[in-house]
Structure 1
Amino acid sequence: MENFVLILLAIVIGYIINRLNIFSKDAPTILNQFAIYISLPAMILLQIPKLSFSIDMIIPIIVAWIVMFISAILILVLSKFFSFSKEITGSLMLVSILTNSSFLGIPIINAYMGESAMPYVLVYDQLGTFIALATYGTFIASYYSNKNKITFKIMTLKVLTFPPFLSLIVALFLIGVEFNPVITKVLSSFASTIVPVALVAVGLQLQLRLPREEIKPFSVALIVKLIIAPLIAFIICKIFAWDNQASIVSIMEAGMAPMITAGAIASMAGLAPRLSTAIVGYGIIISFITTGFLFKIIS
């Protein structure tokens, strides 16, 4: 219960601070950078070495990529069916596909499943969502905005220089290693900051205005992201007869709210900024309800 109180309180605090203009406009960026450069790498180094090499470790990766691939095809078909503009299609190709697997996934799944589920959350996030953000996300933003030229070299550098990814590579070599208690305590202290810091940043960026003319693409985006995506994940796990903690984490991650960074990229690329922001903002709020129902169904 205390985890949900923390999640909601942190987001509300961020939202109130934003409304009162207490922090500078750069505050969300600074908090996100702290979470990405310090908190998340610490959690990865703390949790990933607890994993053991098995099929369970591969499940989140397989589910993440299949869900994103099918969701992207579905968005393209629906965008053509509803005759959405190129800008709106580009926006949906980002915010409907990329999931908030870390900043919301970590606290929500920890609340439902406990710390033992964290290694699978981090595998889903780093080897699924993050690599997709750096490669697929960069390509989509460039293709639909026609603003920047994208190359394989640029995408590779984005992946290889991302601190959490570098931490993941190091952590994979440390699987089975037991850290000194001092190191464990230091990593735990830094890792524990990810939830309040990241969620206050979420609250600071929360925008709740919904343009009437964009209700249709808004609805399509959230139906695909919050309902169809976890359904795809569920079907994948049933087909392969995966029924364990890794599969439950994968289904839950697939049903998380749209990624905040994906919305930011869409906005910066000029891909329906108001729509992108509304989908992310409302998606976060609605996801608290949908993930609750989802966990009850799959558990």
Structure 2
Amino acid sequence: MENFILILLAIAIGYGLNRLKIFSKEAPAILNLFVIYISLPAMILLQIPKLTFSMDTIIPIVISWLVMTISVFIVLGVSRFFNFSKEITGSLLLVSILTNSSFMGIPIINAYMGESALPYVLVYDQLGTFIALATYGTFIASYYSNKSEISFKIITMKVLTFPPFISLVIALFLMGVEFNVTITKVLESFASTIVPVALVAVGLQLQLKLPKEDVKPFSVALIIKLIIAPIIAFGICLIFGWNNQASIVSIMEAAMAPMITAGAIASMAGLAPRLSSAIVGYGILISFLTTAVVFRILV
């Protein structure tokens, strides 16, 4: 329950600060930079070394990557059909693809399915969404934020010098390593700032009344993320004959709201910041209802 309260309160605080004009217009960008350069690398260094591999990890991994891959092609096709700008397409490729598999996924799935389901949540998050954020997310932000002619070399350099990616590479080399208590506490302190800081930034950019030109991409993003993604996950389970706790958790994870950090990356990269924040903010609120519906259908 405290996670839900924090989510709603942080967005409300950001929205209130914006309405009262207490922060400068640059505040959202500064907060997003803090998340990308400090909070997220700390989270990666903290969580990735804890990963362990087993047969139980296969279902969440397969579903997470297939859902993201298929969703990418849907976003590209829809963006081309509606002739969305490069900026909007880049935004949708982040916030419509990357799911809020941990901060929303953990409390929601724990509430519906109990603690026994949480290991599958962590596998989906860390071996699926989390790695995709550091690699795919870095690539999309680099490619779509560049308004000039770009080359493979430029994109490669941006990916290789992006703090979350650097942290991922370091973390993979540290798999199985146990940090001492001091290092762990420091990393936990920085990592814990991701959600409140990123959500306040979302609130600072949130507009209750969307501009007319944002309504179409906004609707497309949430339909793909909250409706089509879990349908894809359900279809994958049918194809492979998966009908167990791991498959139900994976479908629920696919149905979660857009990832908060994906919105922060989109905003930092200049990919329709106002639209990206609206998709994340409203997506979180709407997902409370849609995940309940998905769970009722599954069980």
The 10-residue stretch of structure 1 (37-46 or 90-99) with the greater mean CA deviation from structure 2: 90-99
Tell me the distance in 1 between the aligned counterparts of 2:29 and 2:231: 33
Tell me the distance in 1 between the aligned counterparts of 2:232 and 2:215: 24
Query: What does residue range 18-57 of structure 1 map to in structure 2 within 5 Å?
Result: 18-54=18-54
User: In the TM superposition, what is the alpha-carbon distance from 1:199 to its structure 2 partner?
Assistant: 1.6
User: In the TM superposition, what is the alpha-carbon distance from 1:175 to its structure 2 partner?
Assistant: 2.0
The 10-residue stretch of structure 1 (247-256 or 222-231) with the greater mean CA deviation from structure 2: 247-256
* Structure 2 residue identity aligned to 1:133: G
The reply on whether 1:260 has 2:258 as its aligned counterpart is: no
SS across alignment from 1:21? coil
User: In the TM superposition, what is the alpha-carbon distance from 1:288 to its structure 2 partner?
Assistant: 3.5
Tell me the distance in 2 between the aligned counterparts of 1:49 and 1:102: 21
Cα-to-partner distance string for 1:17-39 (whole Å, 9 max, x where unaligned): 11111112222222222222222
User: In the TM superposition, what is the alpha-carbon distance from 1:16 to its structure 2 partner?
Assistant: 0.6
Cα-to-partner distance string for 1:126-173 (whole Å, 9 max, x where unaligned): 42134223324544556xxxx321211122122211222222222222
* Structure 2 residue identity aligned to 1:233: A
Query: Runs of 5+ in structure 2 lacking a partner?
Result: none
TM-score (norm 1): 0.77
Distance 1:221 1:178, change over 3 A: closer
Tell me the distance in 1 between the aligned counterparts of 2:288 and 2:268: 23
* Structure 2 residue identity aligned to 1:123: L
Distance 1:217 1:162, change over 3 A: closer
Aligned equivalent of 2:163: 163
Aligned equivalent of 1:94: 90
The 10-residue stretch of structure 1 (251-260 or 217-226) with the greater mean CA deviation from structure 2: 251-260
The 10-residue stretch of structure 1 (20-29 or 251-260) with the greater mean CA deviation from structure 2: 251-260
The 10-residue stretch of structure 1 (113-122 or 182-191) with the greater mean CA deviation from structure 2: 113-122
* Structure 2 residue identity aligned to 1:84: F
Tell me the distance in 1 between the aligned counterparts of 2:253 and 2:11: 20
Cα-to-partner distance string for 1:215-235 (whole Å, 9 max, x where unaligned): 455433321121102221333
SS across alignment from 1:73? helix
Tell me the distance in 1 between the aligned counterparts of 2:48 and 2:243: 21
Tell me the distance in 2 between the aligned counterparts of 1:172 and 1:236: 29
The answer to whether the 8 Å contact 1:64/1:128 transfers is: no
Structure 1 runs (4+) greater than 6 angstroms displaced:
100-103
Aligned equivalent of 1:286: 286
The reply on whether 1:210 has 2:210 as its aligned counterpart is: yes
The match for 1:131 among 126, 135, 157 is: 135
State, as a whole percentage, how many aligned pairs show the same letter: 53
Distance 1:48 1:163, change over 3 A: same
Cα-to-partner distance string for 1:65-112 (whole Å, 9 max, x where unaligned): 4323322333454456xx52343xx46633443237889543212323
Tell me the distance in 2 between the aligned counterparts of 1:222 and 1:13: 23
Tell me the distance in 2 between the aligned counterparts of 1:289 and 1:15: 22
Alignment length, in residue pairs? 288
Tell me the distance in 2 between the aligned counterparts of 1:180 and 1:188: 12
Tell me the distance in 2 between the aligned counterparts of 1:276 and 1:47: 26
* Structure 1 residue identity aligned to 2:139: T
Aligned equivalent of 1:121: 125
The reply on whether 1:199 has 2:199 as its aligned counterpart is: yes
* Structure 1 residue identity aligned to 2:192: S
* Structure 2 residue identity aligned to 1:111: P
User: In the TM superposition, what is the alpha-carbon distance from 1:8 to its structure 2 partner?
Assistant: 0.8
Distance 1:61 1:163, change over 3 A: farther
Distance 1:38 1:215, change over 3 A: closer
CA RMSD in angstroms comes to: 3.5
* Structure 2 residue identity aligned to 1:85: N
The answer to whether the 8 Å contact 2:11/2:202 transfers is: yes
Tell me the distance in 1 between the aligned counterparts of 2:223 and 2:97: 18
